[in-house]
Amino acid sequence: MSAKSNGSAATPVLYTVLLAVAIAAPFFVYPQFLMRGLCLALFASAFNLLLGYVGLLSFGHAAFFGFAAYVTGHLAKFGTVFLPYFTPFSTPRLHWLEIPMPPWTPELAILGGAFAATLLGLIIGGIAIRRQGIYFAMVTLALAQMLYFFCVQAPFTHGEDGIQAIPRGYLFGAIDMNNSLSMYYFVLAAFILCFLIIQRTIHSPFGQTLKAIRENEPRAISLGYNADRYKLLAFVISAGLAGVAGSLFALVFQIATLNNVHWHTSGEVVLMTLLGGMGTVLGPMVGAFLVAGIQQYLAAFGAWVSIFQGIIFVACVLLFRRGIVGEIQAFRRGGNKAEEEAPAPAVTSHSAAPSPAGE
């Protein structure tokens, strides 16, 4: 709603300009940086679908991003599929059934990673939506940490080393992805596709119901909506798209490591979304490119990255809770003073709800 009705004449122009910039960018800017930015932008947009439009703060989205990166890296490099099975009696251990397969092509490896993230989203989401508000954030954080420990121990992740030298391979068996331009345009195309999926989700009746749940969950339930099922589906979509982002990331940088599943990564995606603007369409992208820039320029200064990120967190929460894009939109709305819409309150449901019940 807010994106479409807000400056509706300017929006198509803006998107066209952005697209033109994105197509021309690799000739001016280092493509590796652009691809990192696009992967993080997709990650943040997927996360924003949940935080901005359902009001659920997941503090464990690195699980989907990082796990999909591992799965894609593994499939693209080795191809072997492992199926888990459990022997409860003789020696209670988890076993893995190995199905030997040749390495997968990049598009199939990405689909595999996204599928794994979706499945993981179904499990983690199914458990986490049983609590709301702060507890939801803590539960997702804890479950993601559990996955982190799993990734430390599981043989296929190669522990501290991670999966290195992941081949980019040939797209559809034909296009050489080692060329950084073809890789860039592939990442851009995947990003646009996922972006359209997110847009479609937000503007569908399903998305409207999500917003209704965000604004007043008890009322949505009383109107007959199964709020938990809607929240779970949104969570699964968000997890799957975060998985696509992680899969692309693994192919671009040809490495999948524990960093990607660490809670720091979960914090970073929250930061990107908060900085850019929760519940805005462009905010997560702006935030992602800014955070990618911070990482790039402060990388040599060690702990300063985290100090700086912490300062941005504090500044965002205290000074501009709407984020950069949100503040710009609010400013423009203030100038036009026509719009009746609330200024993208993002997460206010639980404090505003009539029965917060200690959540």
Partner 1 sequence: MSSIWAFLGIPPQALFGQLMVGLINGAFYAMLSLGLALIFGMLNIINFAHGALYMMGAFAAYFLLNFFGIGYWPALLLAPLIVGAFGMVIERLFLKQLYGLDHLYGLLLTFGLALILEGVFRELYGSSGLPYAPPPELTGGYNLGFMYLPTYRGWVVVASAIVCIGTWLLIEKTRLGAYLRAATENPALVQAFGINVPAMITLTYGLGVALAAFAGVLAAPIYSVNPLMGSNLIIIVFAVVVIGGMGSILGSVITGFMLGLLEGLTKVFYPEASNTVIFVVMAIVLLIKPQGLFGRAN
The 150-189 site mask, x for binding partner 1 (CB under 8 A), equals: x-xx------------------------------------
- What is the bridge-based pairing of β-strands 170-171 and 81-87? unpaired
CA distance 186 to 311: 35
How many angstroms separate the CA atoms of 304 and 41, rounded?
22
Q: Going residue by residue from 255 to 294, which x/- string records binding to partner 1, judged by CB under 8 A?
A: --------x---x--x---x--------------------
Question: Of 81, 138, 197, 330, which one interacts with partner 1 (CB under 8 A)?
Answer: 138
- Using alpha carbons, select from 239, 212, 265, 213 the residue that is nearest to residue 47: 239
User: Strand runs (DSSP E) across the chain, as ranges?
Assistant: 81-87, 93-99, 170-171, 175-176
What contacts 334, CB < 8 A, 6 or more positions away?
none
Nearest-angstrom CA–CA distance, 62 and 324: 23
Q: DSSP code of 318?
A: H
Report how far apart the first and last C-alpha atoms of the chain are (Å, whole number). Answer: 28
CB of 118 to partner 1, least distance (A): 19
Q: Phi and psi at residue 223, in whole multiples of 5°? A: -80, 0
282/347 with CB nearer partner 1: 347
Residue whose CB is less far from partner 1, 2 or 132: 132
What's the rounded Cα separation, in Å, for the pair 188 and 23?
Answer: 8
Indicate the residue among 200 and 264 with the shorter CB distance to partner 1. Answer: 264
Q: Smaller CB distance to partner 1: residue 129 or 248?
A: 129
Counting contacts by CB under 8 A, is residue 305 touching partner 1? yes
- What Å distances lie between residue 33 and 61, 127, 297, CA to CA? 22, 36, 11
List 22, 122, 142, 212, residue binding partner 1 (CB under 8 A)? 142
The CB-of-62 to partner 1 minimum distance in angstroms stands at 12
Q: Applying CB under 8 A, does 38 fall inside the site for partner 1?
A: no
Count of chain residues binding partner 1 (CB under 8 A): 52
Q: Which of 32, 103, 321, 343 binds partner 1 (CB under 8 A)?
A: 321
Cβ 327 to partner 1 shortest distance, Å: 16
Instruction: Choose which of 127, 221, 223, 299 interacts with partner 1 (CB under 8 A).
Output: 127
- Cα Rg of the chain, angstroms: 20
> Which of the stretches 6-14, 39-47, 111-119, 131-139 binds partner 1 when contact is defined by CB under 8 A?
131-139
- In the list 181, 259, 314, 332, the residue contacting partner 1 (rule: CB under 8 A) is 314
